[in-house]
Amino acid sequence: MKNYSKYPDWDHFLNGISIDCVIFGYHQKELKILILEYKQINTYALPGGFIKNDENLNEAAKRVLAERTGLKDIYLNQFHTFGDLSRHDPEPMKNLIKKSGMNFPDDHWLFQRFITVGYYALVDFNKATPVPGPFSDRCEWYDVNDLPELMQDHRLIVEKALGELRDNIDHKAVGLNLLDNVFTMGELKDLYETISGKKLNRTSFHRKMMKSGRLKRLGKKSTGKAHRSPYLYRFAGSEE
C-alpha cells in the first residue's frame, strides 16, 4: 500500500474512498450550499476530502467541513454512499494536479475509481466563512435553485441531500442550525417553505409548531415595521 511513499502527504489517506459534503446555509429566504470552484480547469464541485488512516469516517467529515467553513460542532448527517463506476472520471483531477505543478504517476489512486460517502451539514450562514481548499480558487454560496454545472455526479449528490433534508425538516436541528438562535414564527415558516418548496398555511403552521413543544416563546420583538410586532421564539433546549 506504500507504492507512492514519495508523496507522503497522500499516503495517510485511505485509497479509493472520499467524502463529499453538501453544506447547507440559509439566507434571505434562500437555501444555499457551498460550492468550490477550480478556475484552472473551469470546474465546480462539492467540498470533499479523504479519510486519514487513523481517523473515524465521521471525524473525517467533520474535519473537511471545518476546513471549508471554519466552523466546529457542526450538525452533520451521513445520507448516502455513491459507488457507481460511471462516476469515475479521472480527467478533471489529472488536469488539476498537472496545472498545480504536481506530478503524480498516472496510476496513482487519486486517478482511480472512487467510492464517496455523502454528508450533509447545516451551518449558520452568518458564522461560516467559506475557505477555498488547497487546489480550489473559490468557495462560495450558491442558491440550490441556481447551481452551476457540477463535476461528475455531484449534482445527483446534491439532489439526494436535498431529499434527505426535506425528510428531516421536522427535526429540531434543522431550524436550530439554519436560523439565528432567536427567530419569529414568520421566519421559521419561511425556512420551512424554502426547504420544502411548498406554500404552507400560516395559522396551521403556527398551531402545529406551538403544539410540538419544540419551541419556547420569549419576549416581544419590535420589528420597526408598521404592524403588530411578533413574538420571538427559540428551540427548547437551546438556551445560551
Chain residues binding DNA by CB under 7 A are 184-186, 201-208, 210-211, 220, 222-231
Contacting residue, 80, 94, 171, 216, with its own copies by CB under 8 A: 80
- CA proximity to 152, closest of 106, 205, 207, 92: 92
Q: Which does 55 bind (CB under 5 to 8 A by kind): its own copies, DNA, none?
A: its own copies
Supply the minimum distance, in Å, between the C-beta of residue 145 and DNA.
Answer: 23
What span, in angstroms and rounded, lies between the C-alpha atoms of 223 and 84? 51
Inter-residue contact 35 to 155 (CB < 8 Å):
no
**Stretch of 35-43, 68-76, 109-117, 155-163 contacting its own copies, by CB under 8 A:** 109-117
Number of residues that bind its own copies (CB under 8 A): 28
Supply the minimum distance, in Å, between the C-beta of residue 128 and its own copies.
Answer: 25
Q: Give the strand pairing for 30-38 and 138-143.
A: antiparallel
- CA proximity to 80, closest of 178, 156, 144, 175: 156
Q: Which residues, including other chains, have CB under 8 Å from residue 152's CB and lie 6 or more apart?
A: 45, 87, 89, 92
Site string for its own copies, 174-213 (x = CB under 8 A): ----------------------------------------
Bridge partners of residue 120, in order along the sequence:
22, 77
The answer to whether residue 105 forms part of the interface with its own copies (CB under 8 A) is no
Supply the minimum distance, in Å, between the C-beta of residue 172 and its own copies.
Answer: 18
Q: Which does 39 bind (CB under 5 to 8 A by kind): DNA, its own copies, none?
A: none
Copy the grid coordinates of residue 75: 450538525
